[in-house]
């Protein structure tokens, strides 16, 4: 908690980055027409609002002394028409501002979501989910308010102020100057208060992001189970209370600072208005101005101090709201470590040939994959960059249709190796090829479409079984779902459920057993029908009976397809065409089961030591 406060305190004195306003305008460009409608309606409303004071002046100075009832009726009608016009323009303003605001929030969210989707997998391993969702929700809404409510208020107040001062000068320039004498009392304090509120706003956003992160991680099924099993409910509540208290305390500080400031401004405005009445009354007595002119000036002076107070308020709000834009732009400007090269082409009808050509890999530094302000909430040191090669000059050629098992101790680099095929990461040096094509020359969609992965802990969305299967093939008819489920030996289990394929699996598939999730993931892979199959401990959660059924389904599915298998079970390994034993990031042995046993090397030693399970 103290660390987070320190981070927020350090940000208080940070000013808006150069070019922020220009980038905001770029996002607003598609809505120029509606912005123009908004501005025209504001100008028209400001001019209409000047009508009543002049009408009242004419009634008092001319119509009443002349006892002209007809003129009084006409002038009153003009005042009513002005009020009706002002009401209609207010609706037009709201319509235009909502079109701009809601369109802008849509554009920002769409851009942010697409950007996050393009971020490398390393970004998600370092960044809390709650921090990401906070940017897409809280900060986007704050940015919207900056353009619609705050910026609209600034424009409106400026126009009202200019037109009102012009009208007052036309009526009586000396009293108008008296009105403007107090202007410095509005402007000078606003600059200091604006900076303080900007810092408080940054701090409050930090606390909100930390609170969202905790809720996101603890309120899913796995997180809630972990908290309960460790009896950490009280500790979690204490941590949440600390984050919530930070939001509360910064909210109170912001509210009180703003209220005291604006009460003081209101007092200054009241004193100025009183002076206008006092001095103006003396001028009426002296015959310098008419009573109607004083009444008109009294009505207009309120329209001077209100915009001044509003402009001060708008400046403070604009400065704090622009922080939201900065946080949005920070995500949009983040580096994308995995990108398509110019001229990237599609991988068409892949044969499934895979080659690792002298590949060396180390995980990329945070500067290439992460956003520092998002990482702060995760408690990860920004300087904790990797300095060790995970893969070292790894060379392996896999023929189309071949099944190769990757074997080795935990941490040897097996999972890292397969992550380079769909470009979850890029090799630091060397080349990964599919069908002779450098994977970096291929479009990401076509590359990943040709690869199917079933991991040790497959992820299922909080949707129906049918929708989870259709994630591989959105237009798949029910018959294809059933065929894939039958092949994965999961159809009977699904059919026995009350809602069948419409059964909701729960968050991350929590309502299903480990074996059921694995079989459902395998069915999803079969539905995708990729040229290359990657099985990362795909049968690890299955008992011997289920494993035998799944292995038979996989054997059929892998026919005429390339398969790369990571497993510790001998039953999964020994039927592979070749076994690659990986140690310290490179292949030290390569051959089939019998050949490696005869060689008596690492593989044979690991088997004798019981590190490969002989069950099944």
Cβ within 8 Å of residue 157, ≥6 positions away: 306, 307, 308, 310, 311, 314
Task: Judge if 272 and 188 occupy the same domain.
Answer: yes
Q: How far is the C-alpha of 322 from the C-alpha of 139, rounded, in Å?
A: 10
| Higher pLDDT among residues 21 and 528, named by residue | 528
Cross-strand pairs, 452: 533
Task: Judge if 420 and 568 occupy the same domain.
Answer: yes
Last residue of a domain, one of 332, 353, 388: 332
- Give the containing element (helix H, strand E) for 583: strand 578-583
pLDDT digits (tens, 9 = 90+) for 77-112: 998 998 899 899 989 988 988 888 888 888 888 888
Tell me whether residue 425 is in a domain: yes
Tell me whether residue 63 is in a domain: yes
What's the domain range around 435? 345-450+531-616
Count structural domains, the chain.
3
Phi/psi of residue 236, nearest 5 degrees: -65, -40
Give the 3-state secondary structure of residue 532.
strand
End-to-end CA distance of the chain: 51
Last residue of a domain, one of 503, 529, 555: 529
> Does residue 6 carry a pLDDT above 60?
no
> Does residue 245 carry a pLDDT above 50?
yes
pLDDT digits (tens, 9 = 90+) for 137-170: 778 877 777 776 777 777 788 888 888 888 888 8
Whichever domain contains 516, its CATH number is 3.40.50.300
**Beta-carbon neighbour count of residue 372 at 10 Å?**
13
Q: How far is the C-alpha of 456 from the C-alpha of 342, rounded, in Å?
A: 35
> Does residue 500 carry a pLDDT above 80?
yes
Task: Judge if 36 and 180 occupy the same domain.
Answer: yes
**Whole-number pLDDT of residue 539:** 64
Question: Which pLDDT band, with edges at 50, 70 and 90, does 522 fall under?
Answer: confident
**Once rounded to an integer, what is the mean pLDDT over residues 601-605?**
87
> Does residue 541 carry a pLDDT above 60?
no
Q: How far is the C-alpha of 300 from the C-alpha of 176, rounded, in Å?
A: 10
Q: What would the two tokens of residue 502 be?
A: 């419409």
Give the 3-state secondary structure of residue 308.
helix
Q: How far is the C-alpha of 537 from the C-alpha of 573, rounded, in Å?
A: 11
Task: Judge if 406 and 464 occupy the same domain.
Answer: no
Task: Judge if 295 and 438 occupy the same domain.
Answer: no
Q: Where are the beta strands (DSSP E) in 341-460?
A: 354-361, 391-398, 403-407, 429-434, 437-438, 451-454
**Once rounded to an integer, what is the mean pLDDT over residues 359-377?**
78
Task: Judge if 189 and 293 occupy the same domain.
Answer: yes
Query: In 3D, which of 575, 584, 588 has the Cα closest to residue 548?
Result: 575
Question: Which pLDDT band, with edges at 50, 70 and 90, does 316 fall under?
Answer: low
Rounded to two decimals, the pTM is 0.71
**Whole-number pLDDT of residue 9:** 36
Task: Judge if 561 and 611 occupy the same domain.
Answer: yes
Pairing type for strands 532-536 and 429-434 reads unpaired
**Whole-number pLDDT of residue 141:** 78
**Whole-number pLDDT of residue 614:** 42
**Whole-number pLDDT of residue 121:** 83
Tell me whether residue 339 is in a domain: no
**Whole-number pLDDT of residue 361:** 94
pLDDT digits (tens, 9 = 90+) for 255-312: 887 777 777 767 776 777 777 778 888 888 888 888 888 888 888 887 777 777 667 6
Which residue shows structure tokens 């108008």? 176
Tell me whether residue 337 is in a domain: no
Tell me whether residue 205 is in a domain: yes
Q: What would the two tokens of residue 99 be?
A: 């079109």
Q: What dihedral angle (degrees, nearest 10) is formed by the CA atoms of 531, 536, 539, 542?
A: -140
Last residue of a domain, one of 498, 529, 560: 529
Tell me whether residue 338 is in a domain: no
Task: Judge if 473 and 602 occupy the same domain.
Answer: no
Give the 3-state secondary structure of residue 328.
helix
Measured over the CA atoms of residue 277, residue 283, residue 288 and residue 291, the dihedral's sign is positive
Q: How far is the C-alpha of 502 from the C-alpha of 468, rounded, in Å?
A: 10
**Whole-number pLDDT of residue 314:** 65
**Whole-number pLDDT of residue 320:** 66
**Whole-number pLDDT of residue 615:** 39
Percent of the chain with pLDDT over 90: 16
Query: In 3D, which of 495, 412, 484, 422 has the Cα closest to residue 453?
Result: 422
**Whole-number pLDDT of residue 447:** 92
Mean per-residue pLDDT over the chain, rounded: 80
pLDDT digits (tens, 9 = 90+) for 467-494: 889 988 888 899 999 998 988 888 988 8
| Higher pLDDT among residues 367 and 404, named by residue | 404
Question: Which pLDDT band, with edges at 50, 70 and 90, does 434 fall under?
Answer: very high
**Whole-number pLDDT of residue 8:** 35
**Whole-number pLDDT of residue 355:** 95
| Higher pLDDT among residues 615 and 322, named by residue | 322
> Does residue 10 carry a pLDDT above 60?
no
Task: Judge if 564 and 514 occupy the same domain.
Answer: no
Give the 3-state secondary structure of residue 473.
coil
Task: Judge if 183 and 315 occupy the same domain.
Answer: yes
> Does residue 460 carry a pLDDT above 90?
no
Question: Which pLDDT band, with edges at 50, 70 and 90, does 540 fall under?
Answer: low
**Once rounded to an integer, what is the mean pLDDT over residues 249-253?**
85
Task: Judge if 407 and 479 occupy the same domain.
Answer: no
Whichever domain contains 147, its CATH number is 1.20.1560.10
Which residue shows structure tokens 């009460």? 263
**Whole-number pLDDT of residue 187:** 61
Tell me whether residue 125 is in a domain: yes
**Whole-number pLDDT of residue 398:** 94
Tell me whether residue 609 is in a domain: yes
Task: Judge if 132 and 213 occupy the same domain.
Answer: yes
Question: Which pLDDT band, with edges at 50, 70 and 90, does 60 fall under?
Answer: confident
């Amino acid at each position: 908690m103290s660390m987070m406060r320190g981070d927020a305190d350090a940000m208080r004195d940070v000013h808006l980055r150069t070019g922020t306003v220009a980038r905001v305008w770029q996002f607003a460009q598609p809505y120029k027409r509606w912005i123009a409608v908004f501005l025209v309606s504001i100008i028209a409303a400001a001019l209409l609002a000047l009508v009543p004071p002049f009408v009242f002046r004419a009634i008092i100075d001319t119509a009443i002394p002349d006892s002209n009832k007809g003129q009084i009726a006409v002038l009153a009608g003009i005042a009513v028409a002005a009020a009706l016009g002002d009401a209609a323009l207010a609706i037009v303003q709201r319509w235009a501002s909502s079109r701009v605001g809601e369109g802008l929030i849509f554009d920002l969210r769409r851009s942010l979501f697409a950007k996050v989707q393009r971020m490398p997998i390393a970004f998600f391993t370092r960044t809390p989910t709650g921090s990401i969702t906070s940017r897409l929700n809280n900060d986007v809404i704050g940015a919207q308010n900056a353009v619609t409510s705050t910026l609209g208020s600034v424009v409106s107040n400026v126009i009202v102020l200019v037109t009102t001062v012009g009208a007052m000068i036309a009526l009586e320039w000396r009293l108008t100057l008296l009105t403007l004498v107090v202007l410095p009392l509005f402007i000078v304090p606003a600059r200091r208060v604006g900076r303080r509120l900007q810092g408080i706003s940054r701090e409050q956003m930090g606390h909100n992001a930390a609170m969202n992160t905790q809720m996101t991680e603890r309120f899913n099924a796995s997180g809630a189970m972990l908290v309960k099993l460790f009896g950490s409910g009280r500790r979690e509540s204490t941590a949440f209370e600390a984050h919530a208290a930070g939001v509360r305390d910064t909210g109170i500080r912001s509210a009180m600072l703003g209220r005291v400031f604006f009460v003081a401004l209101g007092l200054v405005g009241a004193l100025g208005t009183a002076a206008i009445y006092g001095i103006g009354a003396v001028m009426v007595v002296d015959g310098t101005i008419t009573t109607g002119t004083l009444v008109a000036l009294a009505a207009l002076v309120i329209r001077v101090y209100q915009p001044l107070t509003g402009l001060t308020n708008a400046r403070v709000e604009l400065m704090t709201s622009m922080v939201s834009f900065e946080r949005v732009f920070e995500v949009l400007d983040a580096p994308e470590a995995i990108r398509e090269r110019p001229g990237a082409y599609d991988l068409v009808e892949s044969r499934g040939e895979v080659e690792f050509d002298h590949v060396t890999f180390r995980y990329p530094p945070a500067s290439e994959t992460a956003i520092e302000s998002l990482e702060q909430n995760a408690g990860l040191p920004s300087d904790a960059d990797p300095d060790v090669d995970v893969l070292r000059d790894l060379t392996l050629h896999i023929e189309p249709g071949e099944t190769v098992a990757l074997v080795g101790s935990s941490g040897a680099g097996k999972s890292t190796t397969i992550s380079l095929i769909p470009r979850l990461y890029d090799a630091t040096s060397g080349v990964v090829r599919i069908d002779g094509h450098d994977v970096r020359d291929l479009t990401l969609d076509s590359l990943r479409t040709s690869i199917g992965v079933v991991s040790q802990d497959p992820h299922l969305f909080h949707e129906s079984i049918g929708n989870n299967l259709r994630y591989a093939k959105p237009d798949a008819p029910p018959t294809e779902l059933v065929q894939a489920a039958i092949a994965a030996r999961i159809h009977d289990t699904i059919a026995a459920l009350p809602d069948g394929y419409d059964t909701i699996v729960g968050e991350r598939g929590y309502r299903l057993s480990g074996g059921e999730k694995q079989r459902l993931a395998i069915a999803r892979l079969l539905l995708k029908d990729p040229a290359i199959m990657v099985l990362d401990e795909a049968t690890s959660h299955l008992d011997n009976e289920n494993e035998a059924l799944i292995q038979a389904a996989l054997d059929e599915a892998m026919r005429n397809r390339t398969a790369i298998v990571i497993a510790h079970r001998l039953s999964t390994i020994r039927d592979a065409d070749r076994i690659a034993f990986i140690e310290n990031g490179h292949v030290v042995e390569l051959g089939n089961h019998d050949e490696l046993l005869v060689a008596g090397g690492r593989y044979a030693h690991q088997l004798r030591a019981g590190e490969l399970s002989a069950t099944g």
